[in-house]
A and B are shown apart, each in its own frame.
Chain A
Amino acid sequence: MSRPEERLRPAAADPLALFGVLAGEAPGLGTADDVAEVRRAVAAMRRGRRLAGGRWRPRFGSVEAWRQAAAVGVLSAGLLSLAAGGWQRAAENAAVPAAAVAPAAVAAAPGSAAPGGDEWARKPVFEGLDRPRSASVYELAGEELDVVMVVDETLDV
């Protein structure tokens, strides 16, 4: 026997009977595409968790979750490249023409030689950034493109 407050009035007399419609399935939810998307997202979150060593937590919003996973992925790819000899390649690529260096970066380098000078080709330039302690700077020297990453964990992307 249910308690008095639990007893539903006859459906026709209960305004809340309106919500009985919600017991039916919402159309278009739970399709094969949804299942595939959930699989992808969960795999990305698990990857992010592994790479971040347990510090990473998923947050709401698919875009947010994917962005977090992507950020961790880029960082890990960078670190793997470094481990595979990225720094050595930077030194070996000393002969990379200065034209390959982004003009904005060239202009921003204080006290450096003019674009095209030997100074640029010899070694990577690190600006004296006023950065917090939590930030790290990585440079990936590629064949045609140098990538510099400034990773600041306080940004929490």
Chain B
Amino acid sequence: MPKIDLAYSAAQHRADLAETGDREVLLALCAGDEQALDELIERKTKPLLQLAYRILGDREEARDVVQVTFFKIWENRSRFDARWSPNTWIYRIASNVAIDQLRARQSRERAAEPMRNHLRQVAAGRRATAGAAHDHGEVLAVFRDLAGELSDKQRVIFVLREIEGLSSHETAQVVGCRESTVRNHLFNARRTLRRELLRRYPEYVPPAAAAAEARS
């Protein structure tokens, strides 16, 4: 019964892969194992979608980025260096694809003013409901608008450091620059975002923060 044996071994292999760590899965993928690619897609689609969505602020674009990321992982599998952390390598590819997407988007970016007005209304309405927290999508829309003032690298570094919680060292590896460069980009990104948030969306600034800014 060779067919049954083959089916069994494929299922067993899939089960084995599901039990192993990311590094082993990535090494199997590098050896051309297509089931390892499947397993990696299973594991990393969600975190990569979240990352791409935070960078881009658009669900469909995030989905495109993740699809192309996995394709590039497969195509460039021979370039994976086992000394790298699997997540760093995967995030690096995803970040580069997201930056490409940001550049492609710039030429077709629609005017942001209607969105800005809408968000102001939403924030004003929320203010009436004291203590209500801001919605994830709403804050992301604000971030997307403000991040238009950042360079692509500043934007990615801000997301990786401040939202994804990566260290400066990890961020430097993902972005492919020195830690000092990461710190500089982060400093400039924060300054720009803070200034633009206060100027464009004062409704979203907590009263304590607005008062502190007024004093400084």
Residue positions of A touching B, CB distance < 8 A = 3, 5-6, 9, 12-19, 21-27, 29-30, 34-35, 37-39, 41-42, 45-46, 49, 58, 60-62, 65
Chain B residue nearest in CB terms to A48: B71
The answer to whether B187 and A61 have CB atoms under 8 Å apart is no
Give the docked Cα–Cα distance between A62 and B165 (Å): 29
Most chain B CB within 10 A, of A19, A21, A26, A58, is at A19
Chain B residues positioned under 8 Å from A46 (CB to CB): 71, 74
Q: Identify the stretch in B34-42, B81-89, B109-117 within 8 Å (CB) of chain A at 4 or more residues.
A: B34-42
Give the docked Cα–Cα distance between A37 and B137 (Å): 22
The answer to whether A29 and B208 have CB atoms under 8 Å apart is no
Residue positions of B touching A, CB distance < 8 A = 37-38, 41-42, 45-47, 49-50, 53-54, 59-68, 70-71, 74-75, 100-101, 104, 133-137, 139-140, 142-143, 162-165, 168, 183, 186-187, 190, 193-194, 197-198, 204-206, 208-210, 212-213
The answer to whether B45 and A26 have CB atoms under 8 Å apart is no
Chain B residues positioned under 8 Å from A23 (CB to CB): 163-165
Chain A residue nearest in CB terms to B65: A60
B64 CB → nearest A CB, Å? 5
Q: Which of A21, A27, A35, A49 contacts B75 (CB 8 A)?
A: A49
Can you offer 12 A-B residue contacts whose CB atoms are under 8 A?
A5-B190, A12-B208, A15-B198, A21-B135, A21-B136, A21-B139, A23-B165, A29-B53, A30-B50, A42-B70, A42-B74, A46-B74
The answer to whether A62 and B60 have CB atoms under 8 Å apart is yes
Chain A residue nearest in CB terms to B105: A60
Give the docked Cα–Cα distance between A30 and B206 (Å): 31
Number of A-B contacts (CB under 8 A): 131
Q: Which of B41, B134, B165, B209 contacts A14 (CB 8 A)?
A: B209
Chain A residues positioned under 8 Å from B41 (CB to CB): 35, 38-39, 42
Chain B residues positioned under 8 Å from A30 (CB to CB): 45-47, 49-50
Give the docked Cα–Cα distance between A9 and B134 (Å): 20
Chain B residues positioned under 8 Å from A17 (CB to CB): 206, 209
A45 CB → nearest B CB, Å? 4
Given A6-B183, A35-B45, A42-B41, do A22 and B193 touch, yes or no (CB 8 Å)? no
Chain A residues positioned under 8 Å from B68 (CB to CB): 45, 58, 60, 65
Chain B residue nearest in CB terms to A29: B49
Give the docked Cα–Cα distance between A49 and B212 (Å): 56
The answer to whether A22 and B54 have CB atoms under 8 Å apart is yes
Q: Which of B50, B162, B194 contacts A29 (CB 8 A)?
A: B50
Chain A residue nearest in CB terms to B182: A6
Chain B residues positioned under 8 Å from A19 (CB to CB): 139, 143, 162-163, 193
Chain A residue nearest in CB terms to B187: A5
The answer to whether A21 and B134 have CB atoms under 8 Å apart is yes
Chain A residue nearest in CB terms to B104: A60
Chain A residues positioned under 8 Å from B208 (CB to CB): 12-13
Q: Which of B67, B193, B209 contacts A65 (CB 8 A)?
A: B67
Q: A-B pairs with the 10 shortest C-beta distances?
A: A30-B46, A13-B212, A41-B67, A5-B187, A12-B208, A15-B209, A45-B71, A21-B139, A29-B49, A15-B205
Give the docked Cα–Cα distance between A15 and B204 (Å): 8
Give the docked Cα–Cα distance between A24 and B183 (Å): 24
The answer to whether A3 and B183 have CB atoms under 8 Å apart is yes
Chain A residue nearest in CB terms to B134: A21
Give the docked Cα–Cα distance between A19 and B135 (Å): 11
Chain A residues positioned under 8 Å from B67 (CB to CB): 37-38, 41-42, 45, 58, 62, 65
